[in-house]
Structure 1
């Protein structure tokens, strides 16, 4: 696995989705129900779509909480797992305690992850063979360089 490529791609896609989410967060948006007591917003759907499209070149299936069709991933060796708004209720109530969460699972084991809160600009990313980094960003950058100096062996 090319951890740097996958991690850089994941961070880039999540940060770009953060821009989309933040724009919707600061607007009047509609809330729908996916099921009983299970809300979904335009931000959930647009972030999911953006991340899915931006990672498509890696040819790894994506299991998103917002997928309308449920996928059987039990036989997949490698899969992205996405929650485009982890904390949809908080998002709806304009409580900034939510995040975009993306992980990569290989043979049922989490090997890479990115968590980003676009309101507080807190970013956490890492991979099992690279380590984990927490960064408080000043803004959502158009280009992000992984902080290789602070990535350390787990």
Structure 2
């Protein structure tokens, strides 16, 4: 397999950031809350600095979670989208389920993505037209593909851990999904769908942002899956509003349209019963 220079740069950035995150993870560090009460740690900031310094070689602008967004990126066709530490709450709670997310966007769509879980030394990467891969402990990369599960009763759903919402479990039950797993990091959840470990991941909150979905979006697509919002619309990137106002839905793609219809029907009934 051939890795482009741009993807190689992103992989190097993710690995270097992950190494620093692990050092901080296993030491004493400071943590605080930013606007919106979201947690931030020394690891978020250190990781972001390493990534920004590394990606500077590409000359593309960067949209990153911990850096103020001046919107200058909107005039550019190609940008990086970065979450330096996806799953900060899991970092704080020592679950090991956090990751570094780096994606490249061209003309509002992701073209490559990297997801790195430092605690497992597990690297997911993919590039448009070239497939998605996983590499564990520095071994040989292995190509990954989504599952071929068609029946909802057989679906394995992965849902948020510390950002869990009673609606999510109720929705899974309403869809007829009996098997659910909780996991940290939006990127890792998307990656497990991409490698066929799970069949569906969804989130109804509008707090999910471009940096949470970018890397996972292209990885899932190259593995044969689909990621949209809950209305079934493709996710666009490098937008003025970076929030996912209509949630996200990641699946193996086999019955994605059916999932959208069933989810919308369920949410409509829920809304009607609460008004």
TM range (shorter): 0.7 to 0.9
Residue 69 of structure 2: SS of its match in structure 1? coil
Matches within 5 A, 1:112-123: 112-123=112-123
Q: What's the Cα RMSD here? A: 2.1
The answer for the alignment partner of 1:71 in structure 2 is: 70
Tell me which structure has the larger Cα radius of gyration: 2
Residue 80 of structure 2: SS of its match in structure 1? strand
Residue 55 of structure 1 pairs with residue 55 of structure 2: yes
Structure 2 residues not aligned, in runs of 5+: 145-221, 223-275
> Runs of 4+ in structure 1 displaced over 4 angstroms?
none
Looking at secondary structure, tell me which structure has more strand per residue.
1
Matches within 5 A, 1:28-47: 28-47=28-47
Distance (Å, rounded) in 2 between the aligned partners of 1:8 and 1:28: 32
Distance (Å, rounded) in 1 between the aligned partners of 2:143 and 2:96: 27
TM-score, scaled relative to structure 2:
0.49
Structure 1 residues not aligned, in runs of 5+: 140-145
The answer for the alignment partner of 2:7 in structure 1 is: 7
The answer for the alignment partner of 1:130 in structure 2 is: 130
How far apart are residue 132 of structure 1 and its match? 0.9
Matches within 5 A, 1:79-98: 79-98=79-98
How far apart are residue 13 of structure 1 and its match? 0.9
TM-score, scaled relative to structure 1:
0.85
Distance (Å, rounded) in 2 between the aligned partners of 1:94 and 1:54: 27
Q: Which has the higher contact order (CA 8 A, sep 6+)?
A: 1
Distance (Å, rounded) in 2 between the aligned partners of 1:114 and 1:21: 16
State how many pairs are aligned.
Answer: 143
Paired residues of 2:134 and 2:143 also in contact (CA < 8 A): no
